[in-house]
């Protein structure tokens, strides 16, 4: 017997890196020379910190683009504020008894921005293309799919080679937006395709204007299948500097600011026109070791580094205690599956030195047991300051670490695309479903930046994905975390939490309620 699933109750896997929000006087329906809005227009202005690299959301994650493309495109399924997978272009779906066939039924009223119907052929084209291109973010994950059938215009059948309870949830992950075949299938790869620069989506807003270094304007799609958005425009204004953005928020020149610096929280709390919401995410700041680097192949070096990092100091000095120290190898926020027994080492300089000396390391002429290590970080979110504190405590343990700070897109090119790093500091979604461990650390996975490879670890993850029993899944994944705590291919540093701020004249924003979990669709946002 098949199970008809209207609202999938699987806990979800959805990696979303967080985007900041900001902009310029969109909170009042008045004419403004700065944004060119007409009298009576409802405009929401969101701060972002840099230019999107592409408007194609399915090649690789792009933090600067994600809040934008989520309003231009749709997925088959998406995430609600309660952390549940709900329909998007799909209305419902069937899962076969053996778990190897998933049939999606599509809406029959969704249209592309050019008026063409969204059909099953668009879904098949999107995922076939992703699967055929190993460099695309979700390509390795789609290896589970043997074929995709389209028996009619509004039915899509995924035929898989094994059961995996996290698969449907994965379709709400990064890089799973449905693209129009009639626009993109023109013989050019997505990276060079003009359609990636001038997007035609099916979402609630359309691209109106993009000025590099300044901002992106979206306008409401009056024919959106869930009803025209309440707002007329979204303006994503590029403000790299946090202090400038905070002042813009206080002045009423921007309406949404995500991930408020901890030092500004009290100031904003005292402002009666600003709403603050604390959100916690299973997206820990973490060090990734490049295991191709000879010096880092020795687990003793990785363990010494882990032991010489003062997470409490980073939490207090950089994040005012808002982002708490994290030692669990899977986020402690997801209590049912996180292993709190097998964890990363606690801070102990003498202990770090002992690890190295017991392993036969001796000091060089400069007083280092290990020298020449570098860590690549991007310039936002407190990452450079956190890395500098690591550099200082590691030096006390006789480990040389030099911090290399980059603009985000440059960091992404170096680390994400070229994998040119020794250590790197990153965030990114790791839950709430533990299948995220496979995507982040499984052999051959795109997001396995450090190229970790442990067959026992992979086997445990496969077993965890094959059963729907939560208690049984938890046991498999906790054993996998124990292996990570022993091997230390990466180091959790602090759990991610932040205050998001918005002009309180706006209602039904993604930051309202118990937490948005990275979903930034503004379809139902309105002015009081």
Q: Are 444 and 461 in contact (CB under 8 A)?
A: no
Q: What is the mean pLDDT of residues 19-38?
A: 40
3-state DSSP of 364-380: CCCCCCEEEEEEEEECC
Q: List the one residue out of 369, 401, 366 whose CA is nearest residue 387.
A: 401
Distances from the Cα of 126 to the Cαs of 58, 119, 235, 376, 498, in angstroms? 9, 11, 28, 33, 34
Measured distance CA(423)–CA(426) in Å, rounded: 10
Rounded Cα distance between 440 and 451, Å, is 10
Task: Give the C-alpha distances (Å, rounded to integers) separating 86 from 67, 148, 157, 178.
Answer: 19, 21, 18, 16
DSSP assignment of 44-97, as one string? EEEEESS--S-S-TTSS--HHHHHHHTTT---SEEE-TTS-EEESSEEEEEE-T
CA distance 177 to 74: 6
Q: Which two tokens stand for residue 425?
A: 């500091």
pLDDT at 259: 87
Q: Write phi, then psi, for 524 (nearest 5 degrees).
A: -105, 5
pLDDT at position 83 is: 62
Report the C-alpha gap between 273 and 275 in whole angstroms. Answer: 7
pLDDT at site 79: 74
Among all chains, which residue has been given the structure tokens 């001038």? 198
- Maximum Cα–Cα distance for the chain, whole Å? 73
| pLDDT one-digit tens code per residue, 285-318 | 999 999 999 999 999 999 999 999 999 999 999 9
Supply the pLDDT for residue 195. 93
- What is the per-residue pLDDT across 335-364, written as a single tens digit (0 to 9) for each? 999 999 999 999 999 999 999 999 999 999
| Residue percentage of the chain with pLDDT more than 90 | 73
- The reported pLDDT for the residue numbered 243 is 94
Could you read off the pLDDT of 362-412 as tens digits, one per residue? 999 999 999 999 999 998 889 999 999 999 999 999 999 999 999 988 999
The average pLDDT across 190-212 equals 95
The domains found in the chain, sorted by start residue, are 17-73+110-148+175-200+504-527 (no CATH), 281-497 (3.10.105.10)
Q: Tell whether the model's pLDDT for residue 12 goes beyond 90.
A: no
CB atoms within 10 A of CB 463: 16
d(CA 133, CA 191): 11
Tokens standing for residue 484:
């990570």
**CA dihedral sign of residues 235, 237, 242, 243:** negative
Where do runs of H (alpha helix) occur along 181-264? 181-184, 242-251
Q: Once rounded to an integer, what is the mean pLDDT over residues 486-514? A: 87
Q: Render 411-467 in DSSP notation, one character per residue.
A: HIIIIIIT---SEEEE-----BSTTHHHHHHSTT-TT-TT----HHHHHHHHHHHH-
Nearest CA-CA partner of 381 in 255, 490, 259: 259
> CA 101 to CA 95: how far, in whole Å?
6
Residue with more model confidence, 420 or 498: 420
Rounded CA separation 444/286 (Å): 20
Of the candidates 221, 244, 242, 245, the residue with the CA atom closest to the CA atom of residue 231: 221
The strand order across the sheet containing 274-289 reads 205-211, 215-220, 233-238, 43-48, 256-260, 490-503, 274-289, 423-426, 370-378, 399-406
Task: Report yes or no: 254 and 248 within 8 Å, Cβ to Cβ.
Answer: yes
Confidence of residue 30 (pLDDT cuts 50, 70, 90): very low
Instruction: Look at residue 331 and tell me whether its pLDDT is greater than 80.
Output: yes
Are the beta carbons of 508 and 526 closer than 8 angstroms? yes
In angstroms, the CA 527 to CA 27 distance is: 8
Local structure of 393: helix, strand or coil: helix
The per-residue pLDDT for 233 is 98
How many other β-carbons are positioned within 10 Å of the β-carbon of residue 347? 17
What DSSP string runs through 284-307? EEEEEE-TTSGGGSSHHHHHHHHH
Please state, in angstroms and rounded to a whole number, the distance separating the CA atoms of residues 222 and 224. 6
Q: Which residue has the higher pLDDT, 17 or 193?
A: 193
Mean pLDDT of the 429-433 span: 78
Average pLDDT over residues 496-514: 81
pTM tops 0.85:
no
513 has pLDDT over 60: no
- What's the CA gap between 9 and 166, in Å, rounded? 11
- Per-residue burial over 428-458, b if 16 or more Cβ lie within 10 Å, else e, is bbbbbbbbbbbbbbbeebbbbbbbbebeebb
* 187-208 mean pLDDT: 95
Which of 63-72, 182-191, 435-444 is most confident? 182-191
What tokens were used for 359?
Answer: 């392993």
Provide mean pLDDT across the span 323-340. 95
Mean pLDDT of 70-79: 92
Is residue 1 predicted with pLDDT exceeding 60?
A: no
β pairing state of 3-5 and 233-238:
unpaired
């Amino acid at each position: 017997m098949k199970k008809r699933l209207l609202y999938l109750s699987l806990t979800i896997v959805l990696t979303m890196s967080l985007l900041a929000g900001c902009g310029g006087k969109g909170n009042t329906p008045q004419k403004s020379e700065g944004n060119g809005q007409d009298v009576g227009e409802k405009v929401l202005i969101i701060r972002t910190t840099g230019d999107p690299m592409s408007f194609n959301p399915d090649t690789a994650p792009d933090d600067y683009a994600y809040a934008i493309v989520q309003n231009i495109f749709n997925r088959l399924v998406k995430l609600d504020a309660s952390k549940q997978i709900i329909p998007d272009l799909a209305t419902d779906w069937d899962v076969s008894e053996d778990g190897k066939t998933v049939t999606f039924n599509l809406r029959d009223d969704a249209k592309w921005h050019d008026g063409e119907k969204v059909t099953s052929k668009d879904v098949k084209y999107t995922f076939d293309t992703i699967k055929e291109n190993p460099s695309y973010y979700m390509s390795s994950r789609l290896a589970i799919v043997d074929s995709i059938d389209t028996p009619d215009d509004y039915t899509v059948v995924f035929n898989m080679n094994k059961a995996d309870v996290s698969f449907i949830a994965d379709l709400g992950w990064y890089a799973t937006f449905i693209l129009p075949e009639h626009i993109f299938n023109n013989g050019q790869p997505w990276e060079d395709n003009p359609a990636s620069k001038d997007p035609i989506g099916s979402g609630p807003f359309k691209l109106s204007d993009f000025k590099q270094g300044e901002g992106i304007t979206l306008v409401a799609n009056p024919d959106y299948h869930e009803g025209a958005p309440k707002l007329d425009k979204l303006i994503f204004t590029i403000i790299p500097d946090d202090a400038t953005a905070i002042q813009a928020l206080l002045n009423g020149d921007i309406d949404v600011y995500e991930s408020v610096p901890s030092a500004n929280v009290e100031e904003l709390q005292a402002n009666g026109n600003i709403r603050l919401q604390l959100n916690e995410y299973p997206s820990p700041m973490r060090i990734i070791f490049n295991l191709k680097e000879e010096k880092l192949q020795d687990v003793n070096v990785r363990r010494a580094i882990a032991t010489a990092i003062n997470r409490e100091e980073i939490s207090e000095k950089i994040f005012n205690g808002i982002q708490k120290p994290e030692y669990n190898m899977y986020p402690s926020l997801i209590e049912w599956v996180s292993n709190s027994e097998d964890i990363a080492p606690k801070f102990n300089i003498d202990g770090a030195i002992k690890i190295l000396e017991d392993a036969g390391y001796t000091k060089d002429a400069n007083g280092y047991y290990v020298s020449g290590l570098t860590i690549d970080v991007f310039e936002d979110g407190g990452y450079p300051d956190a890395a500098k504190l690591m550099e200082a405590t590691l030096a006390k343990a006789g480990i040389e670490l030099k911090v290399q700070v980059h603009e985000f897109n440059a960091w992404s090119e170096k680390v994400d695309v070229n994998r040119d790093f020794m250590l790197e500091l990153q965030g990114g979604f790791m839950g709430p479903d533990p299948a995220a461990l496979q995507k982040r650390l499984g052999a051959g996975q795109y997001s396995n930046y450090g190229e970790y490879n442990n067959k026992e670890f992979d086997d445990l993850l496969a077993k965890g994905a094959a059963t729907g029993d939560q208690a049984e899944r938890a046991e498999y994944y906790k054993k996998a975390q124990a292996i990570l705590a022993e091997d230390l291919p990466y180091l959790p540093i602090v759990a991610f939490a932040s205050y998001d701020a918005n002009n309180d004249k706006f209602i039904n924003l993604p930051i309202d309620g118990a937490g948005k979990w990275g979903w930034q669709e503004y379809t139902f946002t309105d002015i009081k």
